[in-house]
Amino acid sequence: MSHLPTPGAVIYAKNLSKLSGFYEQVLRPTATHANDDYTIFELPHFQLVIHAIPPQIANTFEILVPPQLRSDTAIKLMLSVASISKARDVAAKLGGRIDAENYEWEFQHYRICDGYDPEGNVIQLREHLSR
């Protein structure tokens, strides 16, 4: 048994409630803790933390609708979902987007598709292919 903490990632949010709601509904994780500063989601072998950007910083910029993509970052989260198709529908209703079906590809037993959350963070969703 390892005493190492669960690996994870932090996403900083201008709108904590909106971004937490997006990931909660798209990924269906277990929320283990939430307050005015952050939400912690537990996924199998991964912890996702949505952390509020301090107001003095958050007030210096706006999130456009649709959001400007933050695609010039060196990191893209790969997140598992049961169904990319269902996640696509949910994401669209919550201000994000998962690319159309014709942009999906298969690799190492997964169907994969890119998209973004309501604040423009680029993400990749992976659905296990049952064969």
Tell me what pLDDT residue 68 has.
94
Q: What is the rounded distance in angstroms from the CA atom of residue 77 to the CA atom of residue 121?
A: 9
Tell me what pLDDT residue 1 has.
57
Domain at 8-54+65-128, CATH from 3.40.50.720, 3.40.720.10, 3.10.180.10, 3.30.9.10? 3.10.180.10
Neighbouring-strand partners of residue 45? none
pTM, two decimals, is 0.92
Dihedrals phi, psi of 115, to nearest 5 degrees: -175, -160
1-27 per-position pLDDT tens digit? 568 888 999 999 999 999 999 999 999
83-129 per-position pLDDT tens digit? 999 999 999 999 999 999 999 999 999 999 999 999 999 999 999 99
Domain boundaries, the chain: 8-54+65-128
DSSP 80-114: E-S-HHHHHHHHHHTT-EE--GGG-EEETTEEEEE
pLDDT band at 130 (very low <50, low <70, confident <90, very high): confident
Dihedrals phi, psi of 85, to nearest 5 degrees: -60, -45
Task: Tell me how far CA of residue 95 lies from CA of 57, 99, 126, 129, in angstroms.
Answer: 22, 13, 20, 27
Q: What is the rounded distance in angstroms from the CA atom of residue 128 to the CA atom of residue 83?
A: 9
Q: What is the rounded distance in angstroms from the CA atom of residue 11 to the CA atom of residue 100?
A: 24
77-94 per-position pLDDT tens digit? 999 999 999 999 999 999
- Does residue 30 carry a pLDDT above 90? no
Q: What is the rounded distance in angstroms from the CA atom of residue 131 to the CA atom of residue 120?
A: 34
71: left (phi over 0), alpha (psi -120 to 50) or beta: alpha
